[in-house]
Structure 1
Amino acid sequence: MKQPMPSSLYFRQASLLMHMERCKRDGYLSSYDYYSGFQAMTYVVNTWDYDEATFKSQFNEISLNWKDIKATSNWCEGTKRDVANLIVEANNHKRASSQRAIENQQAIASISKSLQELGQSSQQAGQQALNSVQNMQIVTPTVTYPNNQININALPAPEGYEKTLVPSGTVGILRNTSFANGAKICEYSNGRAIRIQLSETCPNLLQP
C-alpha cells in the first residue's frame, strides 16, 4: 500500500516542475531534458499516494510567486542538475522494485516447491500406512475343547464385551458390525464380540 506523499514533497516537485517549464520556455532547457525530467517526476510522484488537486494548487501558487522573475542561465543550470538527480532517483527506484519483484517470485517459487514436496511426502507416507493396514494379518489361534473346536480372537475383547467363552448352548445373533485397528468387529446379542479380517464376513450366529 502506498504511503501519503509528504507536504514537503508536494512543494519540492511542484517547484522543480515550474523551474523546468520556465527554463524550457526561455531556451535554457532542451525539450529532451524537460520530457525526461517530466517522466521521472511522474514516476516518483506515483510511488506515493498523492492528491492531484493539491499538487496543481501548489504548482499554481509557486508559479504565481515567480511570475515576475526571469529565468537565467545559472538558475537553469541548477534546474538541469535537479532534473538529472530526479532521473537517477526514478531509475534507482525502478531497479529496486524490479529486484524485489524477482526476489518475491523466487520466494513464492521456493515456497510452492516446498509445499509440493511436503504434499508428495505426505502422500507417500499415507500410501505406506495404507499398505501396512492392508497387509496386516490377524491371527486367530485354534483352541480345542472336548467334542468341539472353535476360533477365538487373540486380541483383547472390545470394551463392554466378555472375553471368556459363553456357556454351552448359548447362541449369539449378529447385532452389529464395526471396524477398529484394521480389523472387523462382529458384535452379538449374547454380549460377545469377535475380531476377524476385513475381507471376512461376520457369521450370523455365534455358537459356543
Structure 2
Amino acid sequence: MVANHPVLRPRDVAIRPEILRATIEAAVGALARSVHLSLDQVVIDVKAEHYLALMRRLQQAPECKFEILVDLCGVDYSEYGNGAWEGPRFGVVVQLLSITLNQRVRVRCLAEDDELPILPSLTGIWRSANWFEREAFDLFGILFEGHDDLRRILTDYGFIGHPFRKDFPLSGHVEMRYDEAQRRVVYQPVTIEPRETTPRVIREEKYGRLH
C-alpha cells in the first residue's frame, strides 16, 4: 500500500536564503542601504528616510508579500562591541513573515538623532506594530511619528526615564511605597545604595580538600 503524502506546492517550500536575498534586493532596489545574510536569514539595513517606503514595498511586492509583522524591538548600540560602534545609537529591528510565500526577513533601521530618536510608525501598514512601538518608546525612548496612541505600556504612569537604555541605572531613579499617613502609594527618590559584590575566591591550594 502506498501512503498518501501531501503534495508540496511551491509556496510550501522555504526558498534558499541566498536566492531570497537576491529576490528581495531586486524588489527593494535603492531603498535599502544593504541586503545581506546573517545566520542564514536575509537582513535589510535601511535609512530612516526610506524606512516607510521600503516596508510598503516588502508588504505589497508580489515576490515579497510579507503580510505579518512578527516582532519589532528597540536597540541601544551605545556600548555595542565594547564601544567600537560608530553609528547612530538608537534603532529598531523588525521581523517580517510571508505566509503566502513561506519566507522571512529582518529589517534594521537606525534613528538619525541620538538626542531625540524618531522613526516613522508602521501601524499604517501592519496594525501589529502598535504595541511593539509603544514598548520601544517606553523602554528606549524612541518616538514613532504617525502612531496614534504612543504612550507607555510596561512601566508605571509616573515612571521617569527609559529603563532599557544602557545608561539607565539598575536601581532606577525613584521608588514607590505605601504611606500610612497619607493612606496612598507615594513616589520618592530611590533609597537603594549601589554596591559591588565580589564573589568568594577558591584558593587553588585548598581546592578539593575536605579540611
If the length of structure 2 is used for normalisation, what is the TM-score?
0.19
Q: Highest Rg: 1 or 2?
A: 1
Q: Which has the higher helix share?
A: 1
If the length of structure 1 is used for normalisation, what is the TM-score?
0.19
